[in-house]
Amino acid sequence: MKKILYVLLFIVVFAQLFKPEKNISTETKPADFYAETLASQEVQEILENSCTDCHSNHTNYPWYNHLTPFNYFLAGHIEDGKKHLNFSEWKNYDNERKEHKLDEIVDMVKKKEMPLPSYLNIHKDAELTENQIDLLVDWAKNAEKIYK
């Protein structure tokens, strides 16, 4: 039994030598996105608190990101989030895609599918209130008109 525990301990320690690439950018806020979509300061704060860790080129990592396998779990979520919507790459989207992404924001926020429950388990402060949902929905619907 001791040998099995030592082997497991060795594997856990050895695994700490391997880490996924971090999602860190010198531009910590997607300023172009905020400006183009006319996001108020309040909307920006909501997005920063609840969305940009997984939907931009800059993530504020929690302490447990230093531990394998949690860092790989986070990297997978961030990669998937950026694949669906990346505020930092907004300028590269065409108007049709921008309109569609804003419509998806409305849909996902209204259904409370975003932020993901797995994110909210650890980031309780990222959970959106009804007032915040209403603000995001109104902002996104107004921003959609820019691209029609």
Residues 7-48 have pLDDT tens digits of 777 776 666 677 778 877 777 688 889 999 999 999 999 999
- The residue type of 113 is E
Among 47, 109, 108, 117, smallest CA distance to 77 is for: 117
Contacts of 134 (CB under 8 A, 6+ apart): none
**Total number of domains constituting the chain:** 1
pTM attached to this predicted model:
0.82
Among 56, 132, 136, 54, smallest CA distance to 102 is for: 136
The parent domain of residue 32 ranges over: 2-147
Contacts of 133 (CB under 8 A, 6+ apart): 109, 110, 112
Q: Provide the token pair at 51.
A: 């969305």
pLDDT tens-place string over residues 76-127: 889 999 999 999 999 999 999 999 999 999 999 999 999 988 888 878 889 9
